[in-house]
């Protein structure tokens, strides 16, 4: 099959992060929100290098050559392309930061360089450095008896070239210790700041008083975080704790530096850190942009510099309800976050924890809030004598420590804890409440597209379906029964469950639409996901397009398919929404059938994880989800349309303007009888 309708996964992700960076200069976004998008761009890129670039380097160590399945690129070719694109994006990031810094100054907040200061301000900072900063620093000179120190992931160091009696040495000063503030307020008018790292770098000659400073710069390294535990060990939680500690010491994959640095010094740093020159990136912008959150705090009273206030609403059907169990037994219920509150689901769990009819609660946890009300309800249920089974996925990347702590607390309360499967992650969002009522076993099943996390329910768009459908309940019980036996469910009747019966069912559903089109009908597939990279599904989409099936794809991030190519993907449209809230819900539509799911269309989700997709069998709920999908397809404010050349171009903004996220919030407020912002 032709490769010109595919794109490499890693390069597609970089395109997504470029769309995030564009939001930092979008005029319609208030200034403080532009700051957030710039910070998100940097944190996204950091994680990409830690995980994806780290993975590519690991694969290069394997004896066999590994190529990507879409573009047939080797790991070396992918890394070279990543570094080229990252260098271009770094230049754009610098320009965005300059723009935001100028806008900040117009709003009365200034970040100063030393060249801009008066003599009095410079003297004030010298005294401040001598009394408040210098005593907390731990400088080191590199020499024969002073080995090169371990540089921590994402932390900033001042690097200086020192000369004494004709010989040169390198000096290093850690600039991030958790004690020093990121911003130093200047005397006089408020909201005038100097970055702490720049302060340390400026006064670094005072640290190395016996040397002449030949050059100085700030550096920041990113280390690989792509590590896998030795899963055959018995105490899996201990293995994960060791993995978290090990991650802090892994191989560097990227070096960023500010100020122009002597090439010989860069060569020496590369030698010490095991980096190639391709892995070194110059930055005019500060190496750590997290200080922008402090600037946002300074401006918190300027509400016009932020998005208008939005609060998740309680839908009328749940308002004042004395029993969530009864409501769900009456009819399937749907919550759409963040437009609607997670509280009705929390109330369902609280009620189940205390209801004497409830015999058991089974749930799969991937990422939970640090102060999780969901976990507290599970603890309460266990203390009330109910069987509580909690599948805790300790391998939720970068959330391992929080999951470890909650697993301890749940276990101490008497909950039965499973740490997923030895050989794959459990990523499903599934909760099963089983009760005995009037001599019959009844169930309530909740299936979600997002994590059981109260914090992210206010930041991510997700769907949560609650149903008393006994057939869905039986399938959900099969899933948990298999997990308890350290197995995956082989087959289910209604739920699609990866790794064994999700991808194959999706292909069958698409085949059904292909058959409709070939018989002269209107075949249709609509999918909303975060990522599209599963080669098997990509090829099936191409086959469906060639058969005349209309395919509408809403893919927020990675998208390895290019639409609109004659003879291949001409019946496929692709759009991406990057807006105020992180688009996270997964919706599959095949003709009249609607599913919601935890799974993206990536092989790791469809074949190497436990994921669940649930049919929406209630007509009202199905109609509502179809309408939500249609509204997103009409978004002409935050949508970007993918073209046949692979580029993403903003939708033409014309009346009526449709910002889908704002539409859903306005509707939630209207139904609750409140006004936005109240």
**What is the share, in percent, of the chain residues with pLDDT greater than 70?**
95
Q: Round to whole Å and give the CA distance between 558 and 582.
A: 14
Task: Examine the pLDDT at 438 and tell me if it is beyond 90.
Answer: no
For residues 218-223, give the mean pLDDT. Answer: 95
Is 110 within 8 Å of 194 (Cβ atoms)?
no
> Is 592 exposed, middle or buried, given 0-12, 13-18 or 19+ CB atoms closer than 10 A?
exposed
* Total residue length of the chain: 678
Tokens of 253: 């994959």
Could you read off the pLDDT of 248-264 as tens digits, one per residue? 458 899 999 998 788 88
Range in 1-5, 557-561, 659-663 the model is least confident about: 1-5
At residue 178 the predicted structure's pLDDT band, cuts being 50, 70 and 90, is confident
Task: Examine the pLDDT at 449 and tell me if it is beyond 80.
Answer: yes
Predicted local confidence at residue 116, as pLDDT: 87
> Is 121 exposed, middle or buried, given 0-12, 13-18 or 19+ CB atoms closer than 10 A?
middle
For residues 539-550, give the mean pLDDT. Answer: 98
Range in 181-190, 300-309, 389-398, 416-425 the model is least confident about: 389-398
Q: Round to whole Å and give the CA distance between 48 and 14.
A: 9
At residue 402 the predicted structure's pLDDT band, cuts being 50, 70 and 90, is confident
Strands in 140-142's sheet, in edge-to-edge order, are: 140-142, 167-174, 156-164, 212-223, 252-257, 280-282
Could you read off the pLDDT of 21-53 as tens digits, one per residue? 999 999 999 999 999 999 999 999 999 999 999
Q: How far apart are the first and last CA of the chain?
A: 55
At residue 165 the predicted structure's pLDDT band, cuts being 50, 70 and 90, is confident
Task: Examine the pLDDT at 232 and tell me if it is beyond 70.
Answer: no
Is 499 within 8 Å of 609 (Cβ atoms)?
yes
List residues with catalytic annotation. 427
Predicted local confidence at residue 556, as pLDDT: 98
Task: Examine the pLDDT at 403 and tell me if it is beyond 90.
Answer: no
Task: Examine the pLDDT at 396 and tell me if it is beyond 60.
Answer: no
Q: Round to whole Å and give the CA distance between 331 and 325.
A: 10
Predicted local confidence at residue 284, as pLDDT: 95
Predicted local confidence at residue 66, as pLDDT: 87
**What is the share, in percent, of the chain residues with pLDDT greater than 90?**
80
At residue 423 the predicted structure's pLDDT band, cuts being 50, 70 and 90, is confident
Could you read off the pLDDT of 308-336 as tens digits, one per residue? 999 999 999 999 889 999 999 999 999 99
Task: Examine the pLDDT at 448 and tell me if it is beyond 60.
Answer: yes
In three-state secondary structure terms, 599 is coil
**pTM of the predicted model as reported, rounded to 2 decimal places:** 0.92
Is 554 within 8 Å of 529 (Cβ atoms)?
yes
CA distances to 33, 84, 289, 293, 526 from 93, rounded to whole Å, are 16, 14, 11, 17, 34
Task: Examine the pLDDT at 233 and tell me if it is beyond 60.
Answer: no
Range in 143-157, 206-220, 513-527, 598-612 the model is least confident about: 143-157
Predicted local confidence at residue 395, as pLDDT: 65
Predicted local confidence at residue 370, as pLDDT: 84
CA distances to 408, 531, 577 from 16, rounded to whole Å, are 37, 10, 10
CA distances to 106, 125, 135, 161, 175 from 131, rounded to whole Å, are 32, 10, 7, 25, 16
Closest CA to 132 of 219, 200, 192: 200
Predicted local confidence at residue 368, as pLDDT: 84
SS (H, E, C) 402-423: HHHHHHHHHHHCCCEEECCCCC
Which residue has 């927020």 as its token pair?
556
> Is 25 exposed, middle or buried, given 0-12, 13-18 or 19+ CB atoms closer than 10 A?
middle
Could you read off the pLDDT of 471-521 as tens digits, one per residue? 999 999 999 999 999 999 999 999 999 999 999 999 999 999 999 999 999
Predicted local confidence at residue 234, as pLDDT: 45
Tokens of 144: 């024969």
More confident residue, 66 or 32: 32
For residues 351-363, give the mean pLDDT. Answer: 97
In three-state secondary structure terms, 360 is strand
The DSSP annotation for 165-210 comes to: TTEEEEEEEE---SSS-SEEEPSSSSSEEEEHHHHHHHTHHHHSTT
Tokens of 435: 């009760």
Is 327 within 8 Å of 321 (Cβ atoms)?
yes
- φ/ψ region of 51 (left if φ > 0, alpha if ψ in -120 to 50, else beta) reads alpha
CA distances to 201, 215, 291 from 122, rounded to whole Å, are 14, 21, 22
545 contact partners, CB below 8 Å, separation of at least 6: 551, 568, 569, 570, 571, 572
Predicted local confidence at residue 677, as pLDDT: 57
Average predicted confidence (pLDDT) for the chain: 92
Q: In angstroms, how far is CA 475 from the centroid of its own chain?
A: 29
Is 525 within 8 Å of 544 (Cβ atoms)?
yes
> Is 621 exposed, middle or buried, given 0-12, 13-18 or 19+ CB atoms closer than 10 A?
buried
Range in 49-58, 93-102, 429-438, 561-570 the model is least confident about: 49-58
Predicted local confidence at residue 237, as pLDDT: 58
């Amino acid at each position: 099959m032709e490769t010109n309708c595919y794109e490499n996964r890693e390069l597609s992700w970089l395109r997504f992060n470029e769309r995030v960076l564009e939001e930092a200069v979008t005029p319609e976004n208030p200034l403080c929100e532009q700051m957030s998008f710039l910070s998100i761009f940097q944190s996204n890129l950091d994680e990409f290098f830690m995980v994806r670039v780290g993975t590519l380097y690991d694969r290069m160590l394997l004896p066999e050559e590994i190529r990507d399945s879409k573009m047939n690129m080797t790991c070396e070719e992918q890394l070279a392309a990543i570094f080229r694109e990252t260098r271009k994006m770094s230049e754009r990031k610098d320009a965005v930061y300059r723009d935001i810094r100028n806008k900040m100054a117009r709003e009365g907040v200034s970040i100063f360089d030393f060249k801009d200061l008066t003599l009095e301000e410079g003297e004030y900072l010298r005294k401040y450095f001598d009394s408040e900063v210098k005593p907390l620093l731990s400088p080191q000179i590199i020499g024969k008896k002073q080995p090169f120190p371990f540089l921590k992931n994402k932390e900033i160091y001042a690097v200086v070239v020192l000369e004494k009696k004709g010989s040169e040495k390198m000096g290093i000063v850690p600039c991030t210790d958790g004690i020093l503030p990121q911003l130093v307020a200047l005397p006089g008018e408020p909201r005038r700041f100097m970055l702490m790292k720049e302060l340390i770098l400026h006064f670094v000659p005072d640290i190395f008083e016996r040397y002449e400073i030949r050059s100085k710069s700030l550096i920041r390294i990113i280390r690989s975080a792509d590590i896998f535990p030795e899963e055959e060990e018995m105490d899996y939680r201990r293995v994960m704790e060791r993995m978290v500690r090990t991650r802090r010491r892994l191989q560097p994959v990227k070096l960023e530096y500010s100020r122009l640095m002597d090439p010989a010094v860069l060569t020496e740093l590369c030698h010490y850190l095991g980096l190639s020159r391709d892995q070194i990136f110059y930055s005019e912008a500060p190496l750590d942009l997290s200080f922008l959150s402090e600037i946002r705090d300074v401006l918190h009273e300027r509400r016009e510099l932020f998005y208008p206030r939005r609060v998740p609403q309680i839908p009328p059907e749940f308002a004042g309800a004395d029993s969530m169990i009864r409501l769900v037994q009456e009819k399937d219920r749907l919550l759409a976050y963040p437009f609607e509150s997670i509280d009705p689901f929390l109330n369902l769990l609280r009620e189940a924890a205390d209801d004497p009819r409830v015999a058991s609660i089974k749930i799969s946890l991937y990422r939970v809030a640090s102060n999780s009300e969901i976990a507290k309800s599970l603890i309460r249920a266990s203390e009330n004598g109910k069987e509580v089974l909690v599948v805790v996925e300790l391998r939720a990347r970068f959330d391992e420590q929080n999951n470890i702590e909650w697993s301890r607390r749940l276990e101490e309360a008497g909950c039965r804890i499973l740490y997923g499967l030895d050989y794959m992650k459990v990523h499903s969002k599934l909760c099963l409440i089983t009760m005995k009522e009037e001599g019959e076993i009844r169930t309530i099943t909740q299936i979600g597209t997002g994590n059981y996390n109260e914090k992210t329910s206010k930041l991510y768009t997700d769907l949560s379906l609650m149903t008393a459908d006994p057939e869905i309940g039986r399938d959900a019980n099969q899933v948990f029964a298999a997990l308890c036996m350290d197995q995956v469910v082989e087959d289910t009747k209604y739920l699609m469950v990866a790794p064994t019966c999700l991808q194959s069912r999706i292909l069958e559903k698409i085949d059904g639409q292909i058959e409709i089109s070939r018989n002269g009908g209107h075949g249709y597939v609509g999918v909303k996901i975060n990522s599209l990279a599963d080669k098997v599904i990509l090829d099936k989409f191409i086959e469906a397009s060639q058969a005349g099936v209309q395919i509408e794809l809403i893919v927020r991030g990675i998208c390895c398919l290019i639409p609109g190519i004659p003879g291949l993907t001409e019946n496929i449209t692709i759009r991406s929404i990057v807006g105020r809230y992180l688009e996270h819900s997964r919706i599959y539509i095949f003709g009249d059938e609607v599913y919601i799911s935890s799974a993206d269309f990536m092989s790791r989700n469809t074949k190497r994880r436990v994921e669940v997709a649930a049919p929406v069998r209630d007509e009202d709920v199905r109609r509502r989800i179809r309408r939500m999908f249609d509204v997103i397809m009409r978004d002409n404010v935050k949508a970007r349309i993918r073209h046949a050349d692979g580029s993403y171009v903003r939708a033409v903004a014309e009346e009526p303007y449709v910002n889908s996220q704002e539409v859903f919030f306005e509707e939630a407020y209207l139904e609750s009888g409140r006004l936005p912002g109240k």
